[in-house]
Amino acid sequence: MNKKIIFLMITLLLLTLSCSLFNSSSPAPAALSTSGVSAELAATMTVLAETAPEVGLAPAPQATQPGIAATQPSFDATQPSFDATQPSFDSEVPPLDTTFSLEGEPIPDERVYEAKLALAGLGYEVCLNEYLDTTPFYTAQAAYAVSQFQAANGLTVSGSLDPATWAVLFGSNPQPAPQDRLVEYPAQESLSLSSYGATDMAVINGTVWAFPESFGFIEAFNPSASEIYQGIYSLSMLPGEEYYQPFALTTDGTLLWVAFQGDDAILQAYDVAAASSVEGILRPVLPQSIHFDATYIYGLAFDGKRLWASVEDPTGVSLVSINPAKEEVEVYPLQMENFPAAVAYDPNSVLIWVPVSGVFGDQAILSVNPRNGEAGEILGACGSQVVFDGTLLWVVKIDRLVGVDPASGEARAVVDLGGPTPIRTITFDGERLWLLNGDTGVILIVELR
């Protein structure tokens, strides 16, 4: 006899015995009728014998758990279940009964934070992430994002979060931020300074000058030369002066300008063209160093005539303008809660761009008039550092660089860094962007020309 038929007959016999035991409803267990079982089995065998040649037998099904009757009660689909129409949690946002604007004293309000979350979710630039603005204040950056949202949704562009804007933002069909097609530039690893612990860098004629962790030294690297490492140089001091750790670095195209940290901040210039790798010394150019009544100095930038930097003293953080020729220092206090790590000069619009926080919005990019130090408009993009390449202002974000047109505030280009990357400093040499990874010491190069 076919093995499949025998297997199935045995299976059916076991199931029949199980059903008889399970379905017994008498007070005392009833004895099984052997003749009844034999009759059922015989009937089953007859049916199998008659139908097998015609339809064939499929492979035996997987054995079910023994003792479970096929006629046991199953889940009744008609029994009362969760009523999808019953009242559920009301997720509708209540209407706004006020208007938030930049007028008057900023007051924290959780509804502002809710609006920032909603705008960020739609792709508008509100500087809202784990490192940036999460405070419920209506900042200049929030007003910029609201203006962009109003323009994209056919609303009156006022920059104020009013009831009409709120209703559309939390309505059924708010429009996301327009996505412009950006020019993409790749970032390439050039060399690693991890063994030297670089803290800042500047580039002159293709040579990278970087601070090691050792006090009073600077190292030179040329990625295009056969010998990449160009040597280490001591930053010599003027007689009677004591320099401490170099803290910031920039160039005017010829000289290296170095800011030192100490009892006060000191600025000195060095001529790299006169450097001798044999001697290993860079000598100061200024007959007298420029001193600041400050502890820290960051973000050195050159505007063609003057140096700009952000300094910190006991009264707060200020933007300073330095005229090396006249040894003049002008101080412009800014309402900042953070310490800008970079300052960029835009000769096209004659503006200084500074990443700031506080009333402007965390790491909003603020424009400053270099003639009088007055704060102007924000860029619209957020970031920790900035550099100008002659056309675009490059803004350092957590995982990418964005090239922004300063005139319009619109993004034009992007560099994907492949994930969160702590860029310590960024500089431009006329053709390339140079970026220093503060964790790994790896220098990335972005070819723009």
Token reading at 152: 């994209």
Residues 125 and 245 grouped into a single domain: no
Which residues share a beta bridge with 268?
258
Give the model's pLDDT for residue 198: 63
d(CA 346, CA 12): 88
The answer to whether residue 49 sits within a structural domain is: yes
Spatial separation of the C-alpha atoms in residues 314 and 311, rounded to whole Å? 10
Q: What would the two tokens of residue 445 be?
A: 């190069």
Do 140 and 192 share a domain, yes or no? no
- Inside any domain, residue 60: no
- Whether residues 337 and 241 share a domain: the answer is yes
Select from 425, 432, 418, 439 the least CA-distant residue to 202: 425
Q: Specify the pLDDT at position 160.
A: 95
Q: Clarify whether residues 117 and 192 are in a common domain.
A: no
pLDDT at residue 427, rounded to an integer: 87
Do 318 and 425 have their domain in common? Answer: yes
**Is 196 part of any domain?**
yes
Question: Does residue 230 sit within a domain?
Answer: yes
Predicted confidence (pLDDT) per residue in 150-169, tens digit: 999 999 999 999 999 999 99
Same domain, 205 and 232: yes
pTM here?
A: 0.70
Q: Count of CB atoms within 10 A of residue 241's CB? A: 14
Q: Are residues 165 and 190 in the same domain?
A: no
pLDDT at 10: 55
Cα four-point dihedral sign 111, 113, 117, 118 = positive
Is there a single domain that holds both residue 156 and residue 198? no
- Taking only the tens of pLDDT, the chain with its 449 residues reads 444 455 545 555 555 544 444 444 444 433 333 334 444 434 444 444 444 444 333 343 443 333 333 333 333 333 333 333 333 333 578 899 999 998 877 788 899 989 999 998 998 988 765 444 457 888 888 899 999 999 999 999 999 999 999 999 999 999 999 887 899 999 988 777 654 456 678 888 888 888 876 667 888 888 788 888 888 898 888 887 776 678 788 888 889 999 887 677 888 999 998 887 778 889 999 888 888 777 777 778 888 788 888 887 777 777 888 887 777 788 887 656 566 667 888 888 888 888 876 656 567 888 888 888 788 888 888 888 899 999 999 999 888 999 999 988 888 999 999 998 888 888 888 888 998 887 887 888 999 97
Please report whether residue 62 resides in a domain.
no
**Are 137 and 272 contained in the same domain?**
no
Report if residue 312 sits inside a domain: yes
Mind listing the pLDDT tens digit for each residue in 93-151? 889 999 999 887 778 889 998 999 999 899 898 876 544 445 788 888 889 999 999 99
- What is the span of the domain harbouring residue 270? 184-447
Q: Is residue 129 part of a domain?
A: yes
Q: In sequence order, what E strands does 222-360 have? A: 229-235, 246-251, 255-260, 265-271, 281-282, 290-292, 296-302, 307-313, 316-323, 328-333, 344-346, 351-356
